[in-house]
Amino acid sequence: MKHIAKQVEPSAFADWKARVNQDWQPTYDDLRGAPKIAVKAALMEEQGYICCYCERRLTDEDSHIEHFKPQSDHSVDPLDYSNLLCSCQDQIKKGEPRHCGNLKDHWFDPVLLISPLDGDCENRFSFTGDGRIVPATVSDPAAVETIKRLGLDIPKLNALRAQAIEPFLDESLTVEELRGFVSGYLVKDASGRFGEFWTTIRHVFGGYVAA
């Protein structure tokens, strides 16, 4: 889980909400067309085009707008941009395991759910060389519950993280080449994209950059 620094909501979204009047109150169900496209695009951009939870690559076709605090909580403003994220998985394909926002669904616990908006979230998890995710501290119940509720340790994601790790294990790479490889991976590319499973690579290979 990579920390997300929220940005200002897109103007198309703000302008749409500002159209409120005596006869019309904007709701999330009303959000469609250009304002919704602008919201999703802004969320993807501020996240570097990786899922807010598992860090898979986000695409328009395989992602959805995620309410961190669920809309089912009547104290939550469904149109509060500071509560909106972009999670992978839109329509679940037959046989595909649910994870991230789709698995989390309406569950929320402010104590047990670690937020990607928390500046310390990256330090709450640890990763093994074979792609598994575990709590950074064994006695961290929130990390344990977050992994479970988001399905971050399902075989599919473990395998994808292992695939992301594999190129860095090339024995032909010199230390300097590996250092450059890691450094380049941990910055956004020319299109504003972070590499998939950013925190996994930083955790497993970040020492080469620090060295």
The residue extents of the domains of the chain are 11-210
Question: pLDDT, tens digit, for every residue of 69-123?
Answer: 999 999 999 999 999 999 999 877 777 899 999 999 999 999 999 999 999 999 9
C-beta of residue 72 within 8 angstroms of C-beta of residue 26: no
H or E segment and range at residue 84: strand 84-88
C-beta of residue 69 within 8 angstroms of C-beta of residue 108: yes
Which residues have a Cβ under 8 Å from the Cβ of 25 and sit 6 or more positions away? Answer: none
Which tokens hold the place of 35? 């304002």
Please tell me the predicted confidence (pLDDT) of residue 147. 98
Phi then psi dihedrals of residue 134, to 5 deg? -140, 160
The amino acid at 52: C
Give the separation between CA 16 and CA 5, rounded to whole angstroms. Answer: 23
C-beta of residue 199 within 8 angstroms of C-beta of residue 164: no
Confidence of residue 57 (pLDDT cuts 50, 70, 90): very high
Q: Which of 91, 98, 94, 96 is nearest to 53 (CA)?
A: 98
